[in-house]
Structure 1
């Protein structure tokens, strides 16, 4: 990574505080309750609200550029019903991805990951959710290589196990968490088994799991994971009472649309 001395010194100092010492608050798609999700405005708002980290979603455009957006198409956010993978970066940059949220954000464009990295304060974390397949990894590696962020400021998450298996060796210093929802299987009617995700995470040498808040999370649940050498992030928690339970249980981080609100009402600070 290319770092100037002025940038490196505060990062090294800040990195001493990066290991999770208490439950951290991560802005879901930035502070997405108050700004357009996955926009540069949402990321800056997350930092303004005192978030410890901010999460975003990544796809790959038709011409191989990283695209910060949650959905596989641009219909909901950009008003064009077309897959991201079928659009070039130039086409994607013509979309207004702010006005759907509020007229005051009219003209907001899809940000580059580089611009988000540049806006990330020293000591804060960026959580990157990979929405597509392993084909994104070479381009992501190029961007991370020139990033001003210290490796401990980055986290990679995905539901795609193949992505995680290939990503962890590529970025060994970056923490990786396997995502898992908590819905009944449409065919069997059964809820997912935690053991399946624990086994996968350990086999790929991942750092932990990133679980939907619906999982039966309590102190014993978290201890069981930590006994296996795994950390735990939960998503998406906007209810202070749920957050309080997760904090009490000892989860490492909580992802929320409302960082300041949750910190004030669940952490009391």
Structure 2
């Protein structure tokens, strides 16, 4: 009976996720990273306390096939000792400390695994998994998500690497995945790329469910969003937004998610 109930709740969670185009998730960027050390369990737990709808974390595959949560390719910035993440074992990475750089009160923070982070997610909430490793992480990622498939939580996978997105969609067509992109100019007076049409082309080619875009108000406006929707890309989220006015701007354009370092501030401002 308990198993049936959890499965039923999980189905409701997926249906709820599909309806998010009509609302905005407040997603805590690397957890509540303004107040706690990024990509740590303390930051993720604090995000839930601050009423975030979702958390976002960065994930690499280790040398011994574990998925760990850290933004940089090595540990120097957050642990003070340089160890390349992808060529280190979990035990080697766990020998370091990841919280003291932010504040002495966080001394002793370990590097979390993906499983550790998932286990913080309350029923009905969302975990946004940004893949930093290349497509080699996909088999382990799918195995992990499959183990938690009956939990009443939602998964959104995001990646800048288009080939990684395409591989996930090929192996798990029902898994929601967004391709990530920033915006660049070749010169200060040149147009920004990718354009809305270029985003549509990429999304169509790799089969992504939507796009996660750098929150650039010089690029993203009603016409930009309309072009994407007309081309078949009707779902987008933006990162990283810490001002309420900007959050309202992108919410009004129909963003399904606002990723922020200050979920309490943005959540209160939008709600």
TM-score normalised to the size of structure 2?
Answer: 0.90
Aligned to 1:8: 7
RMSD of aligned Cα (Å): 2.2
Aligned to 1:249: 253
| Change in 2 beyond 3 A, CA 1:64/1:185 | farther
Give, in whole Å, the separation in 1 of the partners of 2:253 and 2:191. 25
Residue 27 (str. 1) matches residue 31 (str. 2): no
Q: CA deviation at 1:159?
A: 0.8
Give, in whole Å, the separation in 2 of the partners of 1:98 and 1:212. 27
Asked if structure 2 preserves the Cα contact closer than 8 Å seen for 1:74 and 1:84, the reply is yes
Aligned to 1:235: 239
Asked if structure 2 preserves the Cα contact closer than 8 Å seen for 1:114 and 1:147, the reply is no
Asked if structure 2 preserves the Cα contact closer than 8 Å seen for 1:27 and 1:258, the reply is yes
Give, in whole Å, the separation in 2 of the partners of 1:90 and 1:107. 15
Give, in whole Å, the separation in 2 of the partners of 1:11 and 1:114. 18
Aligned to 2:267: 263
Moved more, 7-16 or 172-181: 7-16
| Change in 2 beyond 3 A, CA 1:220/1:189 | closer
Specify every segment of 5 or more residues in structure 1 that has no aligned partner in the other structure, as ranges. Answer: none
Matching of residues 201-216 of structure 1 within 5 Å: 201-214=203-216, 216=219
| Change in 2 beyond 3 A, CA 1:16/1:177 | closer
Q: CA deviation at 1:151?
A: 8.8
Q: CA deviation at 1:150?
A: 5.1
Q: CA deviation at 1:81?
A: 1.5
Asked if structure 2 preserves the Cα contact closer than 8 Å seen for 1:219 and 1:248, the reply is no
Deviations 1:126-168 (A, max 9, x none): 1111111111111112211111565971111111111111111
Q: CA deviation at 1:219?
A: 2.4
Moved more, 90-99 or 216-225: 216-225
Aligned to 1:44: 45
Aligned to 1:161: 162
Matching of residues 109-188 of structure 1 within 5 Å: 109-147=110-148, 153-185=154-186
| Change in 2 beyond 3 A, CA 1:148/1:115 | farther
Aligned residues: 265
Aligned to 1:83: 84
| Change in 2 beyond 3 A, CA 1:151/1:170 | farther
Please point out which of 213, 224, 227 is paired with 1:221.
Answer: 224
Aligned to 1:198: 200
Moved more, 14-23 or 32-41: 14-23
Moved more, 25-34 or 190-199: 190-199
Give, in whole Å, the separation in 1 of the partners of 2:221 and 2:73. 34
Deviations 1:93-152 (A, max 9, x none): 111111111111110101121122122111111111111111111111221111156597
